[in-house]
Amino acid sequence: MILPLPKLNTLPTALPMDGAVRIELEEGIPIFRASQEAQNRIEELLNKQNLMALSVDEERELDSYEEMDDYLSLVNRTMRNLFRQENQ
């Protein structure tokens, strides 16, 4: 039984950034991940946050990466579930 895909009303604002996402294959399933550049920037912001308060723009940027991560997790779960259902 194939479940319907979740309906999304908008894309995260961070997702359209050039170079923000890469695609890898895991067991033949395309998996979407934050690019190394995006991961480096997230780590930089988190390290700075541990030392001092982030600026409003940096907080907004970190929030957009979190939103992107949530979206990619949803897409990856959906892809894995579809491939599993297809192979049963």
Written as tens digits, the pLDDT of the chain (88 aa) is 555 666 667 766 666 677 888 999 988 888 999 999 999 999 999 999 999 999 999 999 998 888 888 889 988 998 888 888 877 7
Q: Among 43, 74, 42, which residue's Cα sits nearest to residue 61? A: 42
Q: Rg (Cα) of the chain, in Å, rounded?
A: 16
Look up residue 83 and give its DSSP letter.
H
**What is the reported pLDDT for 32?**
92
pTM, rounded to two decimals:
0.76
Note whether 44 and 37 are within 8 A (CB). Answer: no
How many of the other CB atoms lie within 10 Å of CB of 38? 19
Length of the chain: 88
Which residue carries 């940027």 as its tokens? 61
**What is the reported pLDDT for 7?**
65
**What is the reported pLDDT for 64?**
86
Give me the residues paired with residue 30 across strands: 25
Q: In sequence order, what E strands does the chain have?
A: 21-26, 29-34
